Amino acid sequence: MLPGKHASRATTDVHDERIRKAFTQQAPALSVAPAFHAEDILLAIREGLAGDGRGRLLDAGCGPGVVLAAVGADFAEVCGLDLTPAMVERAKVACQEAGLAEAHLKVGSMLAMPFDDGHFDAVVSRLTLHHLEAPGDALREMARVLRPGGTLLIADLLGCKDPAEAALQDALEILRDPSHVRLLPEAEVREFFTRAGLSQQSFQRIHKRRSFAEWASIVDAPERTEPLLLAMRTLAEAGCGQGIELAMDGDQPTFLHRWAIWTLRKEGSKT
């Protein structure tokens, strides 16, 4: 094996373990967190996938199955893939409760998905790219398992355009959740789409204001919460918004998460 390849695989293994550790801890809270059940986000996802209903759907990085439970009834076959076994177990429960007892839930990596080329009519991935060290590779893999003419829907948070603001925003996110890597700026995401052979069909922005208490509670890590609260409170009181409109509401910081929802088409025609 080439040294460079070995180093890359070792780095990926370390980060994969970081993801599994973080999301095993977060699985109970994520399953019920209001931010992950936001009706406007789920409605936008369902509408974006509507044109490919009754076919095969994959949720790549399915987490606790919230998206599958919300849109799965529109498809003849649904599948979820996640790196964290605890999340897959939660997704199984969510699908059963949604009447999707035949859903296929698998443990696996988005960078090497266990599916044939062109197997799915639609692929959705929500809040995954910013946890990946190689998001472009993951997008190419999602495009690979999508049939020509099929739909890929990506819903994720956007990073700040200003590099300094983006770096501090990511630092705050990493202090909260060590599995976070980087919020991507819009232009970079679009370049990844082009390289993966995907063309944009629609694009929607949704802004969601978050409270510190709600945001921090999801990761269930009190040892990190107090230092992070102090840092964000200090920044907010100093008027440093850091591109996320960081502000104080009483004694609690609040900030803005900027969602982007892309509906994309894989190049080629339906067969």
* 244 pLDDT more than 80: yes
Q: What pLDDT was estimated at residue 168?
A: 92
Cβ atoms of 146 and 28 within 8 Å: the answer is no
pLDDT in tens, 135-187: 999 999 999 999 999 999 999 999 998 999 999 999 999 999 999 999 999 99
Q: Which residue has the tokens 């019920």?
A: 32
pLDDT band per the 50, 70, 90 thresholds, residue 269: low
Tokens 């999801």 correspond to 218
Q: Which fold has domain 3-161+178-207+258-266?
A: Rossmann fold (3.40.50)
Six token digits for residue 192:
């990844």
Q: Look up residue 73 and give its DSSP letter.
A: G
Q: Tell whether the model's pLDDT for residue 7 goes beyond 70.
A: no
* Structure-token pair, residue 196: 């993966």
Number of residues written out for the chain? 271
Cβ atoms of 248 and 254 closer than 8 Å: yes
pLDDT in tens, 195-221: 999 999 999 999 999 999 999 999 989
Q: Phi/psi at 259 (nearest 5 deg)?
A: -85, 145
Helix, strand, coil distribution of the chain in percent, nearest 5: 50, 25, 30
Alpha carbon distance 33, 28 (integer Å): 9
Separation of alpha carbons 105 and 110, rounded Å: 13
Tens of pLDDT, residues 48-107: 999 767 899 999 999 999 999 999 999 999 999 999 999 999 999 999 999 999 999 999
| Reported confidence tier of residue 5, pLDDT bands at 50, 70, 90 | very low
pLDDT of residue 14: 95
Pairing of strands 146-157, 120-126: parallel
Contacts of 121 (CB under 8 A, 6+ apart): 52, 55, 56, 57, 75, 146, 147, 150, 151
pTM: 0.93
Domain residue ranges of the chain, discontinuous segments joined by +: 3-161+178-207+258-266
